[in-house]
């Protein structure tokens, strides 16, 4: 076997290892039902959950708990996933600014006991990308 063949084999081996490690590290999008099931099976790998905040008649989100005076690093809220399963979520960081206005929330983390411990929150806000709204644009202008 020539040295160059050995070299090519080594490259293929490393590339395969990279693919395997990526597959192992890759997370999945699940609902809270599956997240609970995973926790029950003792699987503590982190998952992504996409959901919305439950809102009252005034479109204000309900069930947010954040009191910086007692603990600036404790924020709890309820999230309803795409299968309409509601779950209490705890985030050990300050409440993200404009959390209330978000249209969609993506969290990563895993179930711990009765709550979902989130270590990351991604917010999708209504006006984030294309500007579509023209405020104060009336015929009088």
Compute the chain's Rg from CA coordinates: 22
d(CA 90, CA 49): 13
Shortest distance (Å) from residue 32 CB to other proteins: 14
Joined tokens for residue 107: 């969290």
Shortest distance (Å) from residue 33 CB to other proteins: 13
Give the up-direction half-sphere exposure of residue 25: CA atoms within 13 A in the CB hemisphere.
6
- List interacting residues with other proteins (CB under 8 A): 2-3, 7, 11, 14-15, 18-19, 21-22, 25-30, 45-48, 50, 68-74, 90, 92-95, 97-98, 101-102, 106, 108-109, 112-113, 115, 119-120, 122-125, 127-132, 134, 137-139, 141
Q: Specify the residue, 41 or 133, whose C-beta has the smaller distance to other proteins.
A: 133
| Contact between residue 61 and residue 95 where contact means Cβ atoms under 8 Å apart | no
């Amino acid at each position: 076997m020539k040295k160059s063949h050995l070299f090519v084999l080594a490259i293929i081996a490393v590339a395969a290892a990279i693919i395997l490690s990526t597959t192992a590290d890759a997370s999945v999008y699940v609902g809270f039902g599956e997240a609970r099931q995973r926790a029950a099976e003792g699987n503590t790998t982190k998952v992504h959950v996409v959901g919305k905040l439950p809102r009252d008649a005034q479109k204000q989100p309900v069930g947010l708990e954040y009191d910086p005076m007692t603990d600036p690093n404790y924020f709890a809220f309820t999230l309803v996933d795409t299968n309409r399963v509601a779950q209490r979520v705890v985030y050990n960081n300050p409440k993200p600014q404009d959390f209330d206005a978000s249209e969609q929330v993506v969290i990563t983390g895993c179930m711990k006991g009765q709550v979902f411990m989130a270590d990351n929150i991604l917010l999708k806000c209504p006006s984030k990308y294309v500007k579509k709204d023209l405020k104060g644009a009336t015929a009088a202008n």
